[in-house]
Structure 1
Amino acid sequence: MRLVIASCHVDYVGRLTAHLPKARRLLLVKSDGSVSVHADDRAYKPLNWMSPPCWLVENDGDEGTQLWVVTNKAGEELRITIHEVEHDSSHELGIDPGLIKDGVEAHLQELLAEHVETLGAGYSLVRREYMTAIGPVDLMCRDADGASVAVEIKRRGEIDGVEQLTRYLELLNRDPLIAPVRGVFAAQQIKPQAKTLAEDRGIRCLTLDYEALRGIESTEFRLF
């Protein structure tokens, strides 16, 4: 991974155009080829980025600047004009062992894979932990019509989980062998804001009953 702290301005040229005025920012260049631009807020989410497959070319710009041009296979460009570099270092992180999920979340994935019909009639499982360039999708499935469906599973469904699935879908839909890929956001509890965002992005939300999936009847008192 390469870390660059620099004064820069950024332009994205493609289906949409975007501009970031000159400011101090963190530039991340990862071994998978991705390039992202970060400010000192917004948690993990970059201000702008280019997902792999993409290619970075560094050139001399005007008036002593550097110009990074990151191009994807669609011809879209992330153009980063660097005015002053404060830090530039590279680090070998090695192979990451992956995210170890808590017991309930991991068990939910296992149970939903075993009972994939919970997603809907005619659903079938393609595989668990379907790998993308930025991490694994919990489940890759096919619906009754044979269309691809990516399922992200959480114990508590929040906005960051929707954002995660959105990034997976963006990558998966670039693969002509499986596109179009729809998304399902599944969790024991889904916050209203997360549900609204998911539905706005065409992602279906599914509330999971952990006890029902385990085949254990609830011990709560019921009238009927």
Structure 2
Amino acid sequence: MRLVIARCSVDYVGRLTAHLPEATRLLIHKADGSLLVHSDGGSYKPLNWMSPPCVFAEVEPNDEQADAGIAQIWEVTHKKTGDKLRVQLFEVLSDSDHHLGIDPGLMKDGVEAHLQELLAAQIERLGDGHELVRREYMTAIGPVDILARDEAGKSVAVEIKRRGEIDGVEQLTRYLELMNRDPLLAPVTGVFAAQEIKPQARTLAEDRGIRCVVLDYDDMRGTDSGAPRLF
């Protein structure tokens, strides 16, 4: 992982167009090729990013750009869509590389693990005709919570969270990109299932063709939540 703190401007060009004017930011270039642009606020959310599969390149600034104070140019291009994230670096304050090794993955809390167990036993909550293939279906980048088949026999990858946020959608997107390369599984559709799904996460998921399902934990385990009801 490469961590760079620099004064930079950022432009995203593709299906969406966005511009970040010159400011000091943290740039994170990961081993999987992804690039994330962070400010000193906004918690864990990057200001902009490019997800894999993508190609990273350092471009030499031309004379006009050099005269404008641009020292380096980074271009990250998505292999499938052609979308491009372009970073113009005016001053590099810090540049370091770190080898993190293989990550063991996120250890799910008791609620998420139980949600997975309950949904596997009640797979019809995804829709009529759905059938469970297996829990914890292993891929090269980690296990998918549930692999199922829909009423047409097509593969469905399910990512389960207690609270559904953007990082969960990104995680499922990476699984889907990988699984859809497997001719024995493709085409694979995605379901993002959680007790609560944030509006931004729902918007991103639906934009990527991922279906969102809200899970009622108390109903699934057959207990009364205590909430008022008519009947």
Q: TM-score range by the shorter chain?
A: 0.7 to 0.9
Does the CA-based 8 Å contact 1:173-1:181 persist in structure 2? no
What residue number does 1:164 align with?
167
Gaps of 5+ in 1: none
Deviations 1:84-134 (A, max 9, x none): 000000111111111111222212212322332232221123443456787
Change over 3 Å in CA distance of 1:42–1:135 after alignment to 2: farther
CA distance in 2, matches of 1:223, 1:75: 53
| Match for residue 72 of structure 2 among 62, 66, 85 | 66
> CA offsets per residue over residues 22-77 of structure 1, 9 Å max, x none?
11110001111111111111211111111111111112213152011111213221
Aligned-partner residue type, residue 7 of structure 1: R
Amino acid at match of 1:209: Y
Higher deviation after alignment, 100-109 or 142-151? 142-151
What percent identity do the matched residue pairs reach? 52
Distance across 1 between alignment mates of 2:85 and 2:225: 55
How far apart, in 2, do the equivalents of 1:113 and 1:147 lie? 17
Q: Could you report, residue by residue, the CA deviation over 1:139-194 in whole angstroms, capped at 9, with x for unpaired residues?
A: 23222123443433233x3xxx242343245442683653462424232xx37xx3
SS of the aligned residue for 1:57 comes to strand
Unaligned runs of 5+ in 2: none
User: 1:16 is matched by which residue type in structure 2?
Assistant: L
CA-atom RMSD, angstroms?
Answer: 3.2
Q: 1:199 to 1:144 in 2, by over 3 A?
A: farther
Cα pair distance change 1:223/1:16, threshold 3 Å: closer
Structure 1 residues 7 and 53, CA, compared in 2 at 3 Å: closer, same or farther? same
Residue in 1 aligned with 2:51? 51
Moved more, 142-151 or 53-62: 142-151
Normalising to structure 2: TM-score of the pair? 0.76
| Alignment match, 1:35 | 35
Aligned partner of 1:93 in structure 2 is 100
3-state SS of paired residue (2:108)? coil
- How many residue pairs align between the two structures? 213
Contact 2:36–2:49 (Cα < 8 Å) also in 1:
yes
CA distance in 2, matches of 1:6, 1:150: 39
- State the AA in 2 paired with 1:66: Q
Q: How far 1:20 sits from its partner (Å)?
A: 0.9
Give the match's secondary structure for 2:15: coil
Conserved? CA contact 2:75–2:86, under 8 Å = yes
Query: Partner residue of 2:212?
Result: 204
TM-score under structure 1 length normalisation = 0.78
User: What is residue 185 of structure 1 aligned with on the other side?
Assistant: 193
